């Protein structure tokens, strides 16, 4: 049946509703798919060329699950993966799904203070970590005061080596079966997101959230497709790509990080079919020349998300990949993934509306509301996007999440949108003050706290200045205390640079001293007003 968009008083939904392709948990789905597609390639190490089959992944995942269980890991526990991408990165995650154990992963490039904040929330019983992340994890758990078992991908004399999890256990392997999910609304994983404001919180996603992202069974055939995504397990996009790849029989190209110097060579060498990347990486590709001997014609689809894509970037990427379908979509961790996208049978509209995030999808109800009255708005009126679905998060981990929804059960996205007469949606800006730098969220409050710790600073604000590659460059605006004498911007800048523990927190947008900082009638600082002054050169 052809999907139809219904507008009921500016409340928008799609008919017919979405039917989940599976009525069982992710662990059971993955177990069946890995077992069925044993002969197919599932992963390719992009640096070495090593091919990893579904059978090998299946075997290692079962052995890891057996070892985890023998070490006392249960459904009540949480495990963490802190690693760049390699052939074993996702094995503990698959094993956890088979056991019904929750995962909550972090990125090895995080600052110590951020790692402490995240791990303190979930207190994992076991942490799988790459060699380059050992010090970060050791320092973090020491500061928190927890003692999880550390399992190292590589060599170690101090901790457990992951290779010990791969010992053969023929009888147990033969009889192993995945844990049955009692309720598809059970939390299977926790991902960290800053929501609409503040420091990162743990988003509890359920099985339904991810199953809803799997293509319908009649479309489940990516055999022969090579899929590339650079996301580490810290990002929801990583688990999405993992689940979708396994469900459709595809193959993933595994790379530890994005490197523009070998990007073109690798997508040609391994005949990459589908590329999923952040808008930051898209901008990097656009800002670098295509090598003379590069082709890229095997690439069928590029999907970019994370923030607004500029038309100039889309035009450039289409020049680089003239035969490739290129589009951006929209989703949030709290929504369990994407909720606005383009259908492959709507390519004419993709050409006509290149900056759109796509159309409403089955299983979701949408409204754009006025920021003051919260009344639903019509076409071409800008307001906050709110979404209602059976697939969004269970809530934030151990935090009251009631304010995340409105009185009608719609999740507040915190993003400004509008839609046109054809129901294509466009992101305008974010309500929240959160900044994004190269895909990582930055809380201005954290940077403001550092500036305020200087004895001469009375008031401090951090705003984001747009950058075509990095998305946001933090910029500081401060008012000095009346008692401050002979204090310069350079003095404050040097103090700040010594205090930060993450290069992403540098004030790349600069630092300015002002005589006063204007406030609204409710006592809030006029950040947007100040940002406009900076962008216009008046400040």
DSSP readout, 132-143?
A: GGHHHHHHHHHH
Tokens at 161, concatenated: 């080596």
pLDDT at 3: 80
Q: Are 403 and 354 in contact (CB under 8 A)?
A: no
Q: What is the pLDDT of residue 197?
A: 45
In angstroms, the CA 449 to CA 462 distance is 10
How far is the C-alpha of 239 from the C-alpha of 253, rounded, in Å?
14
Report angle CA 524, 395, 78 to the nearest 5 degrees.
120
The pLDDT value given to residue 217: 65
β-strands 201-206, 395-396: how paired?
Answer: antiparallel
Q: Tens digits of per-residue pLDDT, 439-478?
A: 887 878 789 889 988 989 888 899 999 999 999 999 999 9
Higher pLDDT, residue 161 or 304:
161
* Residue environment code for 321-341, b if the CB has 16+ CB neighbours within 10 A, otherwise e: beebbbbbbbbbbbbbbbbbb
Give the three-class secondary structure for 128.
strand
CB atoms within 10 A of CB 116: 18
Distance (Å, whole) CA 339 – CA 209: 11
Q: Where do the H-state alpha helices sit in 156-229?
A: 170-175, 207-211
Q: Stretch 147-158: mean pLDDT, rounded? A: 97
Residue 198: the pLDDT is: 54
Least confidently predicted of 15-29, 278-292, 449-463: 278-292
Burial (Cβ within 10 Å: 0-12, 13-18, ≥19) of residue 146: middle
Give the pair of three-digit tokens for residue 531. Answer: 């940002």
What confidence tens digit (pLDDT) does each residue in 386-416 have?
Answer: 999 999 999 999 999 899 999 999 999 998 8
Look at residue 74 and tell me whether its pLDDT is greater than 70.
yes
Bridge-based pairing of strands 471-480 and 126-130 is unpaired
Average pLDDT over residues 88-113: 96
Query: Cα(107)–Cα(119) distance, rounded to whole angstroms?
Result: 11
| Pick from 538, 484, 486: nearest CA to 512 | 538
Query: Counting beta carbons within 10 angstroms of the beta carbon of residue 131, is it exposed (0 to 12), middle (13 to 18) or buried (19 or more)?
Result: middle
Distance CA 120, CA 276 (A): 31
CB 523 within 8 A of CB 489: no
Q: Which residues contact 435 (CB under 8 A, 6 or more apart)?
A: 441, 442, 443, 444, 462, 464, 471, 472, 474
How far apart CA 83 and CA 96 sit, in angstroms, is 16
Mean pLDDT of the chain: 91
**CATH class (in words) of the domain with range 435-535:** alpha beta
Instruction: pLDDT band for 195, please (50, 70, 90 cuts).
Output: very low
- For β-strands 251-254 and 226-229, DSSP reports them as parallel
Q: Please state the separation of Cα 474 from the chain's center in Å.
A: 20
């Amino acid at each position: 049946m052809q999907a139809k968009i219904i507008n009921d008083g500016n409340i928008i939904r799609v008919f017919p509703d979405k039917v989940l392709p599976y009525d069982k948990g992710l662990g059971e789905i993955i177990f069946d798919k890995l077992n069925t597609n044993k002969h197919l390639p599932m992963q390719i190490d992009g640096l070495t060329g090593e091919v990893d089959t579904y059978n090998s992944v299946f075997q290692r995942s079962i052995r890891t699950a057996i070892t985890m269980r023998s070490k006392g890991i249960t459904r009540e526990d949480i495990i963490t993966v802190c690693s760049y991408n390699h052939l074993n990165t996702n094995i503990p995650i698959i094993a956890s799904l088979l056991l019904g154990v929750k995962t909550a992963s972090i990125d090895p490039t995080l600052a110590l203070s951020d790692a402490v904040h995240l791990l303190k929330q979930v207190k994992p019983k076991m942490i799988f970590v790459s060699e380059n992340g050992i010090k970060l994890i050791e320092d973090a758990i020491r500061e928190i005061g927890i003692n999880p078992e550390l399992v190292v991908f590589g060599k170690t004399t101090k901790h457990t080596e992951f290779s010990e999890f791969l010992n053969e256990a023929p009888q147990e392997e033969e009889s192993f079966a995945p844990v049955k999910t009692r309720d598809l609304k059970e939390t299977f994983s926790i991902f960290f997101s800053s929501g609409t404001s503040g420091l990162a919180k743990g988003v509890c996603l359920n099985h339904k959230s991810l199953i809803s992202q799997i293509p319908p069974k009649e479309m489940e055939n990516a055999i022969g497709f090579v899929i590339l995504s650079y996301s580490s397990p810290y990002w929801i996009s990583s688990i999405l790509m993992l689940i979708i790849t396994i469900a459709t029989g595809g193959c993933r190209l595994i790379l530890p990080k994005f490197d523009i110097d070998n990007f073109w060579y690798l997508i040609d060498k391994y005949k990459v079919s589908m590329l999923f990347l952040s808008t930051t990486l898209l901008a990097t590709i656009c800002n670098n020349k295509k090598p003379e001997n590069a082709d890229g014609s095997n690439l069928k689809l590029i999907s970019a998300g994370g923030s607004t894509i500029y038309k100039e970037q889309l035009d450039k990427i289409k020049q680089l990949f003239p035969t490739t379908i290129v589009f951006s979509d929209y989703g949030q961790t709290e929504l369990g993934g994407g909720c606005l996208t383009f259908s492959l049978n709507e390519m004419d509209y993709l050409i006509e509306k290149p900056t759109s995030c796509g159309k409403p999808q089955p299983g979701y109800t949408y409204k754009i509301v006025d920021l003051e009255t919260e009344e639903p708005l019509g076409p071409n009126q800008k307001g906050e996007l709110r979404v209602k679905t059976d697939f969004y998060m269970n809530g934030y981990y151990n935090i009251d999440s009631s304010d995340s929804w409105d009185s009608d059960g719609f999740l507040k996205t915190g993003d400004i949108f509008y839609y046109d007469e054809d129901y294509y949606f466009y992101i305008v800006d974010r309500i929240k003050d959160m900044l994004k730098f190269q895909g990582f969220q930055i809380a201005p409050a954290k940077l403001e706290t550092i500036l305020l710790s200087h004895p001469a600073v009375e008031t401090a604000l951090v705003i984001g200045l747009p950058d075509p590659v990095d998305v946001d460059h933090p910029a500081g605006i401060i008012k000095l205390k009346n008692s401050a004498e002979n204090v310069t911007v350079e003095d404050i800048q040097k103090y700040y640079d010594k205090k930060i523990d993450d290069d992403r927190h540098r004030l790349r947008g600069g630092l300015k001293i002002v005589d006063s900082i204007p406030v609204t009638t409710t006592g809030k600082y006029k950040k947007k007003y100040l940002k406009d002054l900076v962008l216009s050169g008046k400040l």
